[in-house]
Structures are given as C-alpha cells and as structure tokens.
Structure 1
Amino acid sequence: MDLFWRRGYAETSLQDLLQELSIGSGSFYAAFGSKEELYIRALERYTSLQGSDLLEILDNTAEIRPALRRMFASMIEADLAEPTRGCLVVNAATQCGDQTSAADRVTTAIKQVDSFLAGALEQAQARGELSPGKDPRQLARFLTTFVQGVRIVGRARMGREFVEDALDTAMRTLD
C-alpha cells in the first residue's frame, strides 16, 4: 500500500513490488495474481483504515461541528506534512480511471464516506444541532465532495490559509 501511495500505480513497476515485498515473481503471482489485484487490495486496505478513522471521529462525538473540524484538520495536517503523497483514493481516481476495478473501488470508498457523513448528520439533526430545514443527505454529498477537493488542493500545495478559509465556508453550510 505504501509503495503505491508514494509512487502511484503506473510508476510502481513489478520489480519495485518484488523488491519492496522481498519475494520472487513466482511467489508474487501466486500470492497476489497481478499488479492490479495487489493495487486493489492496497486500496481496500487504505479505505478500511481511513473508514475506521472517520467512524471513530464521527461516532465518538457529542457535537457534529467539532467532529467535522477534527476530521478536516487531520486531512489538512497530513497534506501539509506530505503534500506529494495526498490521498490514495484521490490518487487512484485521477491516475487509474481506465481501470474498472480501481474505479469501482474509488466509487465504493466515496460512497462509504458519504454514508458515514449522512449518518452522523442525521444524528446531529435528531439532537437539534442542524435545523430541520437542512437535508443531511445533501449536506453529506457536499461535504464528501469537499473532502475530495481538500485532498486535491493539499496535493497542489495551496497552503494552510487557502484550505482553512475554504473549510470555514464549508462549515457555514451547517448553519
């Protein structure tokens, strides 16, 4: 996962994978089938880890706004620390659009984020944190899209002020 994340799918050769895993090509094919199959496994692992982190933030909160700020702040900090790395899902979306299995995994990951956010926003609305006139599903879709945008502008090295200004605006959609 880390090698694909650092280098990208196309820039990671079979030889790179063999060296990283310290195995021969026969063992590689027996264990993983192909480079693409290993890449899909790496995406699945990444989305599982990210999904767990997101759920932990959203489930262990009494208030939605601070939870969302923490979620976005962690992404912003990660992107500022390693801007060339970005988000593996965003990287896959922009680098592997012609690979059906990778595109399907990206779609699944984005739908997962949307579902987690929608659930948290629905709970927040039930607690009275969101006005009854707000549609939690629409807000979730906006925030899901915003998540992807944050990751892209982080990779583009737009800087903290740019992203935090955008975050302030996104948070106002909850008002």
Structure 2
Amino acid sequence: MENDDAQCKAGEGGRSFRLRSPSLNSVRLRRIFDIFDKNNDSVITVDELGQALALLGLQTDQAQLDSMVQSYVQPGNTGLSFDDFQALHRSLDDAFFGLADEAAEVDDKQEEYDLTEAFKVFDEDGDGYISAQELQVVLSKLGLQEGTELDRVEMMISSVDKNHDGLVDFLEFKDMMRSVIVPSS
C-alpha cells in the first residue's frame, strides 16, 4: 500500500494509524460491506458476517456476535444496513483505538500477537511467508475479483516485497499493516 494513502499518528501519544481521506475510508468500508453482503440485499445478517469471519479463519462465538450486531440493527431490519455497519465500525474503532480526541496506547505485545494471528490467516502452509498463491486463496475465499487473477495478486505481493524474493515475510507484512491499519470515520 502506498504511504501517500496513510499517515501515522506518531507523536500524538498513540500508535493507531489513520487513513487521511474520510471519503476513501467510506469507499473501502463500502467495499467490505459489499463483500460481506453475499446475497446483495444491502443488508449484512449475523450469518453473513459470521461466514465472512470464518472464511478468514477467525472463530467467533455466534451468540456473542449476534448480541453485538443486534444492538446496531434498526428496528424492523433483518441485519445491518450500510449506515448500521458504519456505526458498528466506528464503535469498534473507538473501543480498540480510542476516541479521535483520546489516542489510546496500544500494548506492544498485543499488537505483535494480533499481527502474528493476521499473518497466519494468509500463511496457510505455515512456512513464514505469504506467497502469491496463498494470497490468491484468501482473496478467493472472500469472493474478491483479485482472487481470480494471479497476475494482479503477484502485483499486490511485489508492492510490499521489499527484498524482491516474490514472498511477503512477517516483517514486510507488519510494515504493510502498520501503514494502512484501521480506517477511521
């Protein structure tokens, strides 16, 4: 990801990262919403959200997920509208990264653990590297168009592959994630 798109809020007491453009954040959040909305009915149900998280290898307690999501669903709706999804996103952003005016200090060990777990989602064979094929599998599981085109996946890999070995190692992954983590609204 390009550094032009991201800005580190270092020196402001926190380690959270924010993207510069609110409109870009909204576009990215909309794309995530559309990926999760498998039946294209403009509503994300608890089942659709649970399925998307499971495809990413993230186990969730269905009752807990249902409880969290239902508090954002508007009366009469069967799931989250895009506006509800944005509100849930803002709430999670505030809970994990502090309110915009109160930059929260992220514990280094927790951050390292979270990044390690995220890396494992992509490193399917556990060899310590993310190959284009592994990235393609994850993108395909998410139903992303990029997952069907190996040349586009290879371009994505090369954009963060600092040592030009055709693979993304954990340090390259951390650098990439730290440059684009958590869009704020």
Fold match (TM-score > 0.5) = no
TM value normalised by structure 2: 0.25
Which is helix-richer, 1 or 2? Answer: 1
Which is strand-richer, 1 or 2? Answer: 2
TM value normalised by structure 1: 0.26
Larger radius of gyration: 1
* Greater RCO, 1 or 2 (C-alpha within 8 Å, sep 6+): 2
